[in-house]
Structure 1
Amino acid sequence: MSLTPRPAAAPEGSGRHGHGGGRRGGGPETARRPPRRRALRWSAIVLAVVILGTASAGYLYYEHLNGNIHKGRRTGADDSKAQRTRPNAAGQTPLNILLIGSDSRNSDANVALGGSRDNRGNPPLGDVQMLIHLSADRRSAAMVSIPRDTRVDIPECEDPGTGKSYPATNDIINTSLARGGAGCTLATWENLTGVYIDHWMTIDFAGVVRMADAIGGVEVCVNQNVWDRSTPSQRGGSGLKLRAGRKKVQGVQALQWLRTRHAWGSDLMRARAQHMYLNSMLRTLRQQSVFTDTGRLTDLAEAATRSLTVSEEIGTVKKLYDLGMELKSVPSDRITSVTMPSVEDPLNGQHVVPDKAGADRMWRMLRDDVPFDGNGGETKKKGQAEPARTPSTDAARLGVLVQNATRSAAEAAVPGRARAIGQVLVRHGYARAGTDTSAAVSADRTLVRYPSADLEGDAQAVAKALGIPAGQVERSTDVSGVTVVVGADWRTGTAYPKKSAPRAGDLPSNSDALNGSDTSPCMDVYKPYRW
């Protein structure tokens, strides 16, 4: 900065550009800017600094939120037998997200909230497992729970962090999380249901508390005073203590509600209580001005990104926000919560297995994107038909392998099924049809699988000969030629059983369906836990 005194002002009337008014050196004097122009210039500079500063702060905060998110591999299994649902007439496909509640006690916060300090350091179990299904047209949604003590086939999985491999096994579904993480749980669901799952999310005890606090309370209801505590006959309990009626729960009390099992009488009723909470939470968020209240939105974003671990494809704030907006767009009366139909496990009375008829109907509705509610008010648009392909090989020369996959969690395999269906194929001209006896496999539904595009037409022709629907023909790297997988849905007869297409709202009676707009449900309390 120059410290030279400013020259005296020119006398009134003297010319600024005349000979007497020039600077030393004879050059013309630069014109002074009027005060108004200087003010405008400085205002523009200040405004630019404010805008740039705000944008930078916004970008840094966005990156901070992204940094909060923990990510993992989508699946922990090498091969999935689930196929994406075909696009509808508008080219849209459904979206399936698996939500897993972990009982991890690998932090001070989780030990304090979950108790059971002896389990610190043990692999976490997936005690809450719920599939969120958004229809292709985004006009309806479903939330489907599987009880944690359901015995299922768990495929071979690999832990993406350690590289440790876990062999396939038959066990209760909550143990899948400990066999390679959320990707293994996703693969287990896909193998059980045949539903392709796009993403997963996990949340632990501390995450539930953070999210519940950020939301500001969710209304729940009990018909009697409840206190879920240890009793002489049953140790443990969530600690939930509420008086009868409608109450708002948040923070630790919200976690207690979601974890309560003994006071409701069973795991199935715990799923019902969780559905009631989530339906109420969605209604609460709709009623709040979350997306116009910067403070609330910031609190929710901070809590969500710190609380969730997600599959890597949705590991950004924008993608999570977009998912939330898609779910928000579904009307409450088009959201249906259900629990997989189940029956007592014949091998262990403390466990359950899928009720085959009811569960299969539910899985088919998800695969075919049939709404779980009947409130659509219009006929569902059918998906685009898959064009038929021309077989590349004469039936007499085509090698076809038939596998007996009729074993399920509830029933043993039916002896001789592969041979019986192979003989049907021989009668249809497939003289080289043979039986695969190399390994015991299981599948809930019958499939025709093929390894490469050149065999697609042959696989379709085999399916047609057996009466198997075209939607059950799929490409898979798990086979070396056209393979018929005779599933648990075809245990008898030589003609594939025909099933009528499910209709909107045609749920099994034992699925305990709740509609998202229904505010009347209230939990009954098992007598030992009343006070």
Structure 2
Amino acid sequence: MARSSGVQGEGTKPGAVPREPAPGGSTGPGGGRGGREGRGGHGGRRARRGRRVLRWSATTLSVLVLGTAGAGYLYYEHLNGNIEKGQRSSGDSKARRAAPNAAGQTPLNILLIGSDSRNSDENVKLGGARNDRGAPPRGDVQMLIHLAADRESAAVVSIPRDTRVDIPKCTDPESGRTYPPVNTIINASLARGGAGCTLATWQNLTGVYIDHWMTIDFAGVVKMADAIGGVEVCVEQNVWDRPLPGVPGGSGLKLKAGKTKVQGEQALQWLRTRHAWGSDPLRARAQHMYMNSMIRTLKSQNVFTDTGRLTDLAEAATESLHVSEEIGTVKKLYDLGAQLKTVPTDRITMTTLPTAADPEDANHLIPAGADADRVWEMVRDDVPFDDKGGKSASKKAGSKQPGSEKASRDPAAADGEIGVLVRNATRSDTLGPVTGRAGAIARSLVGKGFTKAAADTSGALAEERTVVRYPSAELAGDAQRVAKSLGIPQSSVRRSTDVSGVTVVVGADWRTGTSYPKQPAPKAGDLPGDADALNGSDAGKCMNVYAPYRW
């Protein structure tokens, strides 16, 4: 395929491949190789074209900056035909879009998945394990990018690959094979219905509606790292991630202490290293350092006006990334870039989900109860992970929770006429279900006058947060009335096609009592200490090397 210039020329329609620049033409938008542009005629047109290209370049670069786990986002105005797409969701999930804030804005959530696929010679060479050739890929790197509704801050949350979660029933969109629900480590979700199954798994775990997913494999990381031109990383001691007696594997990363610029295969080694850091959560920290450094690198370089650099990045991105179908057009990606570019580096916060040792398997992890819940609550309620937005940001974040329902114009029926089903979903990753919870809440409702309330006897479910669901608009008022009687906030009243009537789902956050416990609203920057937060502007961090892997 011929390489295009990467510049949108005059008269070029979105999605079309622009013309190659003429030999001896300008090296950047709107400027020649030497001399000063004239005031009118062709010079004026070049200046106008230069301004258009500069605006376009800034927008598309911003997409690259915030987009993948160590690789960049999508920038491909002229390579629409290269876009590889897949089904957004392929699993059972109840998450719903967040309601707009007072300004009509909604958060944007993008799931980034780094695949360990070895289904090509290049990936086998980079990833080893030739006997795994042809096996379904696993999602060893999984990150959620949350862009705030006001577009003033962004948060990234990684989940370590060996974290045990509930993976829902999923159907592979390519093979048609259906996989039953299972409780296992999260990186297995990619092989049970593709990226759409991983997305459904995240939605069920977090309660967050995820707008898009993107995946990249080993070879894609190398291509993107080469196109970026190198990213600076830092280690406190000499590091060599190699096989040791009784500990096979290793990424092959070998660096001297201090700062080093890595690219190509060495960048992939940095992102894959785990043993030399000491744990999977620490591997996530190294990946966050790489991403932040990549963002700073691109922002500090003259990329906005360097057509050649932009073209290289475009070629690498379109050849490396696989995206969900609803963002598989140039226009939608262009619009997405316009939103992403607004976030300054010091308002980007990288975190890792707080985890604890899995009591069932010492090699696995589980979400760490209240600390993990707090992280997801902040994402759901669009509360900034940092406190740099001022008091107005904190007040605005707590004033209206995304996902909340507006007061229904349809008045509720009389309490005694409202049918209510109560489900026990108090089981969590760390605690078993509380026996009899559905019956206790149903009896409380009956005592309050909801005489048609009844407990669901089909068995305990697992939901982190209590919700009231209803199937259609005419029951919104009824659902809100039931929630109010129990003290459940209106932000937890959700429309859902998975229920046939008003349904109270008693979650793991309500294990005792018959009145829903008041939940203190999180404040901006109110992250738990074990979220391992890293600010995008912090260039002074270095990875400590686990002693056996020093040299």
Which band: TM-score by shorter chain? 0.7 to 0.9
Partner of 1:337: 350
Partner of 2:84: 70
The one-letter code matched in structure 1 to 2:518 is K
Distance 1:353 1:143 in 2: 19
Partner of 1:511: 531
* 1:58 Cα deviation after fit: 0.6
Partner of 1:32: none
Cα distance change of structure 1 residues 92 and 351 upon mapping to structure 2, 3 Å threshold: same
Partner residue of 1:243 out of 256, 271, 276: 256
Distance 2:99 2:163 in 1: 29
Distance 1:141 1:418 in 2: 38
Partner of 1:451: 471
Distance 2:255 2:218 in 1: 20
Partner of 2:407: 388
Task: Give yes or no for the alignment of 1:228 onto 2:241.
Answer: yes
Distance 1:182 1:54 in 2: 31
SS of structure 1 residue aligned to 2:350 = strand
Partner residue of 2:513 out of 474, 490, 493: 493
Partner of 1:187: 200
The one-letter code matched in structure 2 to 1:448 is V
Distance 2:233 2:331 in 1: 31
Partner of 1:81: 94
Partner of 2:31: none
Task: Give yes or no for the alignment of 1:310 onto 2:323.
Answer: yes
Partner of 1:39: none
* 1:500 Cα deviation after fit: 1.2
Task: Give yes or no for the alignment of 1:435 onto 2:448.
Answer: no
The one-letter code matched in structure 2 to 1:306 is E
Partner residue of 2:128 out of 115, 125, 131: 115
SS of structure 2 residue aligned to 1:388 = coil
Q: Which moves more between the two structures, 283-292 or 335-344? A: 283-292
Task: Give yes or no for the alignment of 1:289 onto 2:302.
Answer: yes
Partner of 1:368: 381
* 1:82 Cα deviation after fit: 1.4
Larger Rg: 1
Please tell me whether the aligned partners of residues 424 and 459 of structure 2 are also in contact (alpha carbons under 8 angstroms).
no
Distance 1:102 1:428 in 2: 52
Counting only pairs closer than 5 Å after superposition, residues 74-473 of structure 1 correspond to structure 2 as 74-78=88-92, 80-380=93-393, 381=396, 382-383=399-400, 386-389=405-408, 390-473=410-493
Distance 1:89 1:342 in 2: 35
Distance 2:285 2:11 in 1: 50
Distance 2:539 2:429 in 1: 36
* 1:383 Cα deviation after fit: 3.7
SS of structure 2 residue aligned to 1:197 = coil
Please tell me whether the aligned partners of residues 483 and 493 of structure 2 are also in contact (alpha carbons under 8 angstroms).
yes
Distance 2:258 2:438 in 1: 57
* 1:59 Cα deviation after fit: 7.3
Q: Which moves more between the two structures, 429-438 or 186-195? A: 429-438
SS of structure 2 residue aligned to 1:264 = coil
* 1:53 Cα deviation after fit: 9.7
Cα distance change of structure 1 residues 133 and 82 upon mapping to structure 2, 3 Å threshold: same
Aligned alpha-carbon RMSD (Å): 1.9
Distance 1:331 1:461 in 2: 42
The one-letter code matched in structure 2 to 1:252 is E
Structure 1 gaps, min length 5: 1-49
Q: Which moves more between the two structures, 265-274 or 418-427? A: 418-427
Residue-by-residue CA offset, 1:379-399 (whole Å, 9 max, x unaligned): 123448743224442211222
Distance 2:330 2:540 in 1: 35
Please tell me whether the aligned partners of residues 87 and 383 of structure 1 are also in contact (alpha carbons under 8 angstroms).
no
Distance 1:437 1:473 in 2: 22
Distance 2:255 2:309 in 1: 27
* Equivalenced residues, count: 481
Partner of 1:34: none
Please tell me whether the aligned partners of residues 77 and 334 of structure 2 are also in contact (alpha carbons under 8 angstroms).
no
* 1:88 Cα deviation after fit: 1.5
Counting only pairs closer than 5 Å after superposition, residues 33-44 of structure 1 correspond to structure 2 as none
Please tell me whether the aligned partners of residues 240 and 257 of structure 1 are also in contact (alpha carbons under 8 angstroms).
yes
* 1:495 Cα deviation after fit: 1.7
The one-letter code matched in structure 2 to 1:465 is S
Q: Which moves more between the two structures, 131-140 or 407-416? A: 407-416
Cα distance change of structure 1 residues 52 and 337 upon mapping to structure 2, 3 Å threshold: closer
Cα distance change of structure 1 residues 264 and 53 upon mapping to structure 2, 3 Å threshold: closer
Please tell me whether the aligned partners of residues 86 and 383 of structure 1 are also in contact (alpha carbons under 8 angstroms).
no
Partner of 2:67: none
Residue-by-residue CA offset, 1:54-77 (whole Å, 9 max, x unaligned): 997517997861121210011012
Please tell me whether the aligned partners of residues 352 and 533 of structure 2 are also in contact (alpha carbons under 8 angstroms).
yes
Question: Identity of aligned pairs, percent?
Answer: 70
Structure 2 gaps, min length 5: 1-8, 22-75
The one-letter code matched in structure 2 to 1:485 is V
Distance 1:294 1:497 in 2: 57
TM-score for the superposition, normalised by structure 2: 0.84
